[in-house]
Amino acid sequence: MTQSTSQPLSQSERDQSERESSAVASVPTGLFAAGRWTATARRMPVQDPSTGEVLTEVADASPEEAAATLDAAAAAQQDWAATPPRERSEILSRAYRIMVEETDRLALIMTLEMGKPLAEARGEVAYAAEFLRWFAEEAVRIDGGYMTAPAGDSRFLVAREPVGPCLLITPWNFPLAMGTRKIGPALAAGCTSVIKPASHTPLSILALAEVLERAGVPDGVVNVVTTSRSNDVMTPLILDPRSRKLSFTGSTEVGKSLLELAAKTVMRTSMELGGNAPFLVFEDADLEAAVEGALAAKMRNIGQACTAANRILVQDSVAEEFAVRLTRRMAELPLGRGVEDGVVVGPLINAGAVDKVTALVGDAVGRGARLRLGGERIEGPGHFYPATVLTDVPAEAELCSTEVFGPVAAISTFETEDEAVAVANDTPYGLVSYLFTTDLARGLRVSHALEAGMVGLNRGVVSNPAAPFGGVKESGVGREGGFGGIDEFLETKYISVGL
């Protein structure tokens, strides 16, 4: 699986190729329902975005084949809900430990199917595993209430019960963590589930399912469907009245269509959707910290994160200095296959992603933006686009209103705090905003004025399993992680007790 050359492979290249093949071969590739892995009539390829080569093939379920997953989840629901919380917690803890022990294997699988650098993939395995640890701890803390009615004539008993079988749909950009962020609380709450990973990156979730099996998750409690026909396969499952919850992470466009579908059965939904994060740098900021923060917020996942800094807004007086420093740092980032040592700029997910980024940069330059670094797609095998810096980006440039999803830092300037906040909020999205300032009062004032579910105040990374992750406006509904994460998978039942 190393890039093909006309030269014979060296010993270290052969070793690397062997490591890659055995990591891929360790992943079961069937449909996973009721604790059994079964073959489907069709299979679909999984590609390495850094070479375009096919890594393996996995089940490509039809709607009829996929029905077995919901059947299994529905059949297992009652027993799983009745399983003692401590037991559910211990299963989650075991899965957490296995993931940590197998970090290298899971990270390599992720890098191969998604392209992100191995160091980031290891970070994602740790992040993903932490959701299981966090929700193992939450499983035994589901509480309720008991109170006297104001008139004193009855008692109110308030109980928390699992919502029921859940459908979990995840994107390709964080193939493992977006899965555990849903599976962890679902399992902790006593819900069974069917998970559908993105068709570009099914291997991480298939590997996770096998880890969960080994950790002792009973048959039917977690089921996995992989398919190239997401709409045809998921629509009947969403409309099936046995499904009681839809938790989706992906684009706002698809999220909106799934919300419409879920409305037909008034299904509970959680939506983690797209973003258009502003990154504000005030003239009183620690500029070095702001540059490092921008680098993290921009380049994590090769710019393919919902939390990526999409619009970098810098106060006039420090804008040139900031641009020079950020350009210098971006120019140093090594580009290559994610499996290569030291690489930071891996490939984008597919050729369409490179086309999109190329068009957005072309549009911005055409409207007067200044290209300071990169800006030319890289030909050859794999879907590479270089680290790119644009300054003087006009507000009308398409990339100011579109998720770039690539390694492009787009810098504009502002004069006043009010202007910065107005521009930052001028978007239908509201996932995360970042601001850098050393003025504490300004930091808090602007944090509150920003229309976002999350704010990075002097920080370029906000994600943490113990914190509530989610957006406002068209970036979503609900929160994942934190103390409230489990609530998304629980119903409140009130029992009025006569005396």
Ordered DSSP codes for 318-363: HHHHHHHHHHHHHHT--BS-TTSTT--B---SSHHHHHHHHHHHHH
Examine the residue annotation and report whether 272 is marked as an active-site residue of this protein. Answer: yes
Q: Which helix (H) or strand (E) holds 147?
A: strand 145-148
62 lies in the site for ligand NAP, by CB under 6 A: no
If binding means CB under 6 A, how many residues of this protein chain bind ligand NAP?
A: 29
CB of 484 to ligand NAP, least distance (A): 15
Of 32, 135, 172, 322, which lies in the binding site for ligand NAP, with binding defined by CB under 6 A?
172
Show the site string, 430-449: x = touches ligand NAP by CB under 6 A, - = not.
-x------------------
274 lies in the site for ligand NAP, by CB under 6 A: yes
67 lies in the site for ligand NAP, by CB under 6 A: no
185 lies in the site for ligand NAP, by CB under 6 A: no
Nearer to ligand NAP, 114 or 313 (CB): 114
**242-271: contacts with ligand NAP (CB under 6 A):** 249-251, 254, 257-258
Q: Which of 306, 403, 417, 474 is catalytic?
A: 306
CA 239 – CA 258 distance, rounded (Å): 10
Q: Which of 272, 403, 451, 474 is catalytic?
A: 272
CA 220 – CA 138 distance, rounded (Å): 22
**10-49: contacts with ligand NAP (CB under 6 A):** none
CB of 172 to ligand NAP, least distance (A): 5
Q: CB count, 10 Å around CB of 339?
A: 22
Q: In the structure encoding, which two tokens stand for residue 87, read together?
A: 């037991």
Collapsed DSSP state (helix, strand, coil) of residue 498: strand
CB of 71 to ligand NAP, least distance (A): 19
CA 273 – CA 255 distance, rounded (Å): 7
Q: In the structure encoding, which two tokens stand for residue 135, read together?
A: 């929700």
Query: What is the bridge-based pairing of β-strands 309-315 and 277-281?
Result: parallel
CA 271 to centroid of chain Cα atoms: 12
Ordered DSSP codes for 151-178: TSSEEEEEEEEE--SEEEE--SSSTTHH
CB of 227 to ligand NAP, least distance (A): 7
CA 286 – CA 290 distance, rounded (Å): 6
Nearer to ligand NAP, 57 or 332 (CB): 57
Task: Give yes or no for a contact between 289 and 457, defined as CB atoms under 8 angstroms apart.
Answer: no
Torsions phi, psi for 161 (to 5 deg): -125, 150
Examine the residue annotation and report whether 166 is marked as an active-site residue of this protein. Answer: no
Q: In the structure encoding, which two tokens stand for residue 495, read together?
A: 């029992």
Nearer to ligand NAP, 60 or 138 (CB): 60
CB of 149 to ligand NAP, least distance (A): 40
CB of 465 to ligand NAP, least distance (A): 13
Q: List residues with catalytic annotation.
A: 272, 306
Binding site for ligand NAP (CB under 6 A): 169-174, 178, 196, 198-200, 230-231, 234, 249-251, 254, 257-258, 272-275, 306, 403, 431, 471, 476
